Amino acid sequence: VPGDISMTAALTVDLVVLTVRGDSLSVLAVRRGVTPYKGRWALPGGFVLADEELLDAAERELYEETGVSVDAHLEQLATYGSPHRDPRGRVVSVAYLALLPNLPSPKAGTDAAEAHWRDALELLEKDRGLAFDHAQILQDGIERARSKLEYTSLAAAFCNEEFTIAELRHVYETVWGVSLDPRNFHRKVSGTEGFVEPTGRTTTRDGGRPAQLFRRGGASLLHPAMLRPGRGCLLR
Amino acid sequence: VPGDISMTAALTVDLVVLTVRGDSLSVLAVRRGVTPYKGRWALPGGFVLADEELLDAAERELYEETGVSVDAHLEQLATYGSPHRDPRGRVVSVAYLALLPNLPSPKAGTDAAEAHWRDALELLEKDRGLAFDHAQILQDGIERARSKLEYTSLAAAFCNEEFTIAELRHVYETVWGVSLDPRNFHRKVSGTEGFVEPTGRTTTRDGGRPAQLFRRGGASLLHPAMLRPGRGCLLR
DNA sequence: CGAATAGTGTCTCTTAGACACTATGTC
DNA sequence: GACATAGTGTCTAAGAGACACTATTCG
């Protein structure tokens, strides 16, 4: 390691794991059992191993907390390295954003740390603060997810292998916190080539007329974009 | 610093400093004087000090290399931490993206390290490789800049305090590597509230009819977006 | 049958893009 | 005047959003 005035830091990955459960955007949170911030909610995460890639560390933590190994979207969010963000010393955290379908078994392969689904917005507002700077990280993760729904096909990462258009719409409505016209949404999604592919099968799990089932299409960037409604001509 | 299987890493910031010079998108590069990668081009950067914020470290490096302290856009790009990206040991680099107007004095407050403007795309293709993983970082920085021009008013960060619509258009054309219709571009920019504000002054520096001068407007997000032309219905 | 959800058709308004045309400076 | 660049008007095609209407299941 090079010398001079350099400095070393401990290196962690923290995860913002989002899913849609019922009508709420949920995030995976753990209750801290040790100081500092004992008893407070925190994002799951842990130290990067000596010879480990950052992304591998994130995947490992995700697996340890949820049992999920594939089928999840995982991307680097941002890095947080304020000198005193951790009272124990200089700890730099590389945050990752994961988007998951609503899992049948919420925390299958859980080890000691007990992970819980919490309403993401509620966790931000109440509970007078998450541990460390995790409120900021969560806020950034939510905003990233919201904006990526606009111009990518990432919303499908919140759905199961097979899903209906209505379920996909429910993802948008929940993440954005808005209502969308079902008819326009249907026309838009089915008209955007590569967004979804019909499987030929149908389901009646939502009642009413059977709905076609779709899987994710090949496109990752949407054109034209699926714009969030209710924004004026410009924003800050 | 907590114990167990944790690990510490040296922490650096690297800068992707972009500007538009003539008809080329240029990036600030330094020629390495020491091993490893001696004699190769690299992005400017350096170690984070013991009690320093990451953003402060990036601002400090930017100032040391260019003499620029304000008026520049500076944002975190991504973090690169492969175990062996630096042969000297585990070095994690937090990359920042800076967008500057074409400076009258390219490297005013330069210290020992000599920084040069290089054509960004040329540097990526020729020169058989930048040092470390800097080609990847540069690639990511360029792509970030390109996509942010679409939905933010960031293009004005490449211009001086006062600029003409044609100069702003030239930024888009250079960064995206396309040609835009001057008439439609003018109508679009002047019709998007908050993008630019007229100063009342004019200039004839481009020849022809005098052009109005503008300054940056209050908006940072553009609605509707300024979409890159020549993209089909979807990508990738 | 009625209730519920799926999916289509149609209309209007806004915007992108193409391009004719006018405006105002320099040589 | 010729030339160059600035800026406006107009037309067309495509997408967003509103919403009437048809389709297909369950009870």
pLDDT at A67: 86
Task: Quote the pLDDT of residue A127.
Answer: 64
The reported pLDDT for the residue numbered B146 is: 97
**Spatial contact of B223 and A235, defined as CB atoms under 8 Å apart:** yes
Tell me, what's the pLDDT at B233? Answer: 42
Give the percent of chain A with pLDDT over 90: 80
Residue A114: what pLDDT?
A: 80
**DSSP-assigned beta bridge partners for residue A97:** A16, A75
Burial class, A218, CB count within 10 angstroms (exposed 0-12 / middle 13-18 / buried 19+): exposed
Contacts of B138 (CB under 8 A, 6+ apart): B16, B27, B43, B120, B123, B124, B130
Q: Which of A53, A75, A114, A197 is catalytic?
A: A114
A114 is an active site residue: yes
Among B17, B6, B13, CA closest to B138: B17
Structure-model confidence comparison of residues A107 and A163, the more confident one = A163
Largest Cα–Cα distance in chain B?
A: 71
A204 touches strand D (CB under 7 A): yes
Q: Model confidence at A104, in pLDDT bands (50, 70, 90)?
A: low
Whether residue A66 has pLDDT greater than 70: yes
pLDDT at A106: 57
Q: Of A10, A20, A4, which Cα lies nearest the Cα of A175?
A: A20
Q: With H, G, I as helix, E, B as strand and everything else as coil, classify residue B181.
A: coil
Q: What tens digit of pLDDT does each residue of A225-236 get?
A: 999 987 654 433
Nearest CA in chain B to A147: B151
pLDDT for B1: 41
Q: Does residue A42 carry a pLDDT above 60?
A: yes
- What are the angstrom distances between the C-alpha of B199 and each of A113, B211, B216, B221, B225? 59, 11, 10, 21, 24
CA of B208 to C1' of D5 (A): 4
Which is more confidently placed, B68 or B217? B217
pLDDT at residue B109 is higher than 80? no
pLDDT tens column, B31-80: 999 999 999 999 999 999 999 999 999 999 999 988 887 779 999 999 99
Instruction: Please give the average per-residue pLDDT across A195-201, as a whole number.
Output: 97
Compute the distance between CA of residue A20 and CA of residue A117 in angstroms, rounded to an integer. 10
* Position B5 confidence tier, pLDDT thresholds 50, 70, 90: low
Burial of residue A193, with CB atoms counted within 10 A of its CB: 0-12 exposed, 13-18 middle, 19 or more buried:
middle
pTM of the model as a whole: 0.94
| Shortest alpha-carbon distance between residue A12 and chain B (Å) | 9
pLDDT confidence of residue B105:
62
Whether residue A24 is predicted with pLDDT greater than 80 in this model: the reply is yes
* Mean pLDDT of all residues in B99-103: 92
CA-to-CA distance for B142 and B118, rounded, in angstroms? 13
Considering A113-122, B29-38, B77-86, B100-109, the range whose residues carry the highest mean pLDDT is: B77-86
pLDDT given at position A236: 38
pLDDT higher than 50, residue A3 = no
Catalytic residue numbers of B? 114
Rounded to whole angstroms, the distance from the CA of residue B212 to the C1' of nucleotide D2 is 24
Among residues of chain B, what percentage have pLDDT more than 90?
A: 79
Is the pLDDT reported for residue B231 higher than 80?
no
Mark yes or no for CB contact B1/A10 under 8 Å. yes
Q: What is the pLDDT of residues A43-60, one digit of tens each?
A: 999 999 999 999 999 999
Q: Do A221 and B235 touch (CB under 8 A)?
A: yes
Q: What is the DSSP string of chain A?
A: ---TT--EEEEEEEEEEEEEETTEEEEEEEE--SSSSTTSEE--EEEPPTT--HHHHHHHHHHHHH---SS-EEEEEEEE--TTSSTTS-EEEEEEEEE----SSTTTT--SSPEEEEEHHHHHHSTT--STTHHHHHHHHHHHHHHHHHHBSGGGGGS-SSB-HHHHHHHHHHHHT----HHHHHHHHHHSTTSEEEEEEEE-TTSSS-EEEEEE-S-SEESS--PPSS--SEE-
